[in-house]
Amino acid sequence: MTIVNEQKRHTLIWPEEGVSRVPYQVYTDPDIYKREMDNIFRGSTWNYLGLEVEIPNKGDYKTTFVGDTPVVVTRDGDGSVYAFVNRCAHRGATVCMDKCGNAKTLTCVYHAWTYDMKGNLKGVPFKNGVNGQGGMPEGFDVGKHSLKKLKVDTHLGIIFGSFDHQIEPIQDYLGEKMCSYLSRIFSRPVKILGYQRQEMKNNWKLYFENVKDSYHASLLHLFFSTFGVNRLSQQGGIDLDPTGRHHVSYTYGSLNEDTDIYKNSDLRSYSSKYQLEDPSLLVGRNEFIDGITLAIQSLFPNMVVQQIHNALAIRQLLPKGTDSCELVWTYLGFADDDEKMTKIRLKQSNLVGPAGFVSLEDGGVGELVQKGIVGEEKELSFIEMGGTGVESQSFRATESSIRGFWKNYKQFMGY
Amino acid sequence: MKELHLKELNKVIVKDEIEELIHAYVQCIDGDHLEEWPEFFTEDCFYQIISRENYEQNLPASIIYCDSKGMLKDRVTAHRQANIFEKHVYRHIVSSVRITNQEEDVYTVYTNYAVFQTRLNGYSEVYNVGKYIDTIVFENGQAKFKEKKVVYDSLVIPTLLVTPI
């Protein structure tokens, strides 16, 4: 009797309401986490690996993760990008011990098994034994012991990897709409301004939901309203790809290019109790002709692209167990930015990142959920803002893109 | 002989005043007297919290970047009035200072620091460690930061950062 009850308690049956309900069990159950790593991150998904400008030269490499699997991303001597699991085919040791570098081969420190930059095994010390003794058995074939390879595809200088070698090309996976949003930023050569890293003690899905959650923005992030910073036009909405798994939340507006003009413009609301002593971090340059000043794009399962005025960044989400995840931010500018433009981006970066005026709350809010659901795994989230469907909408008081995430999650997980 | 003695004495006094500045600075933050925090800086100042990773690769992106006293004050106002976060306290532990350069009356000073954070649950944990690279000047006999670069080793920020270091 007890065994049956145990099984009943642990098996997840999705509520009949579908994507407008989420059992809290998905954020806490280690078996579900393991299946997510297999079905989603090591399944038919494209995962952000990095940017071509991070490994520009032959022999350059960097290490990162797909889900919680460590991977190496390289630019081979043939000029192409490759990616493979960072695990020696011999006894499972981490092959590449550093974050990045340049090399012709990668050698595991344990027994000096040596791989080329495509991940193929090239050298095995004492393969033929020493003085006629020992060595590998007859029939040992180095070709059968390469590092586990990922399929790699790049688009607009962004590198993606997948464990599914039959997966559709990245442009089809993203779809036309998502690709056109990406090209707003990535059709020009970019340059790296730096990295930030953040740990949140909550399940990775709580962060990804937060990015897709356009409902919370003006309610949790009070910086703009506290200081009376209003947009000329608050028009915006959310745009989903056909599958509902990717989204863009966008806002139109106008960015003032001068502090004095800003002070005299409609962008200021003098009725606010508090005013910024130095509002120069809010001025910048109108560099996007479509008039969108805020665009947050999520690409399933682990990538976010952010344009907040002139503060551009990619955020890579790394699951680290059921109740922890890391966020790696790559701050970007354009290769042809002058010094003044770089300074504008650096000052505007005060708005984003782990200490960002309008983003720091996102670090803490997932933890609030993770703490609140302890012991209540069968209880449900209620996600009906903006209805119960999954569709693009021309307003942001909606949870449609969150429902889109769960629709795809259920498909990948077989619920 | 007497002249040499005075010079050495002056060095000791300056070092002592710089130590006092740094201790007063961290105790101000730890004691939650954030409104006094901007006054440790000169009017024309620079304050930056940047990762060791970025600093050593000459990448400029910082998690806090203030190039005026006004921006420091805005950090305090946002902390008090706008931002939402779980209550926490800091405890800085700082090393003694090393004055690595002096040009006229402008001192370059290195100090190691460790910040322990205690959250609502009452556990004190290592939150952020690194070094201060300070440019210190004297205004009316009072030591002040003209520039403060907080270069942190703890690349992964636990949850968020809202209180300055």
**Is the per-residue pLDDT at A8 higher than 80?**
no
**Is the per-residue pLDDT at A57 higher than 50?**
yes
* A357 touches B at CB < 8 Å: yes
* A199 touches B at CB < 8 Å: yes
- Write the residue in A222, A277, A331 that is nearest to B61 by C-beta: A331
Left (φ > 0), alpha (ψ -120 to 50) or beta: where does A238 sit? beta
Better-predicted residue by pLDDT, B70 or A230: B70
Per-chain mean pLDDT for chain B: 96
Contacts of B130 in chain A (CB under 8 A): none
Q: How would DSSP label each residue in A227-271?
A: TTB--S---EEEEE-TTSSSEEEEEE----SSHHHHHHSTTB-TT
- Tell which of B41, B63, B165 to mutate to test the A interface (max A CBs under 10 Å): B63
Tokens at residue A215, please? 């409902």
- Neighbour-count burial of A98, counting CB atoms closer than 10 A to its CB (0-12 exposed, 13-18 middle, 19+ buried): exposed
Whether residue B47 contacts residue B41, with contact meaning beta carbons closer than 8 Å, is answered with yes
Reported pTM: 0.94
**Is the per-residue pLDDT at A3 higher than 60?**
no
Does residue A304 lie in a domain region? yes
Does residue A237 lie in a domain region? yes
* Number of compact structural domains in chain A: 2
Domain membership of residue A275 as a residue range: 176-413
**Is the per-residue pLDDT at A151 higher than 50?**
yes
Pair (A257, A392) in one structural domain? yes
Pair (A350, A252) in one structural domain? yes
Contacts of B84 in chain A (CB under 8 A): 220, 222, 361, 364
Identify the pLDDT of residue A233. 45
Beta strand extents in B11-56 (DSSP E only)? 41-51
Identify the pLDDT of residue A232. 41
Better-predicted residue by pLDDT, A260 or B140: B140
Question: pLDDT digits over A289-321, tens only?
Answer: 998 989 999 999 999 999 999 999 999 999 999
Identify the pLDDT of residue A221. 85
Compute the average pLDDT of residues A26-54: 97
As a whole number of angstroms, the distance between CA A385 and CA A209 comes to: 14
Does residue A385 lie in a domain region? yes
Whether residue B150 contacts residue B130, with contact meaning beta carbons closer than 8 Å, is answered with yes
In 3D space, the residue among A393, A1, A409 whose CA is nearest the CA of residue A203 turns out to be A409
ipTM above 0.90, yes or no: yes
Pair (A314, A257) in one structural domain? yes
> pLDDT confidence of A354, banded at 50, 70, 90?
very high
Say if the Cβ atoms of B159 and A331 lie within 8 Å. no
- Find how far residue A47's CA is from the centre of its chain: 8
> pLDDT confidence of A225, banded at 50, 70, 90?
confident
Q: How would DSSP label each residue in A38-92?
A: IIIITTS--EEEEEGGGS-STTEEEEEEETTEEEEEEE-TTS-EEEEESS-TTT-
Does residue A95 lie in a domain region? yes
**Partners of residue A65 on adjacent β-strands:** A70
As a whole number of angstroms, the distance between CA A180 and CA A182 comes to: 5
Does residue A388 lie in a domain region? yes
Question: pLDDT digits over B99-149, tens only?
Answer: 999 999 999 999 999 999 999 999 999 999 999 999 999 999 999 999 999
Write down all domains in chain B, each with its CATH number in brackets: 2-152 (3.10.450.50)
Identify the pLDDT of residue A273. 79
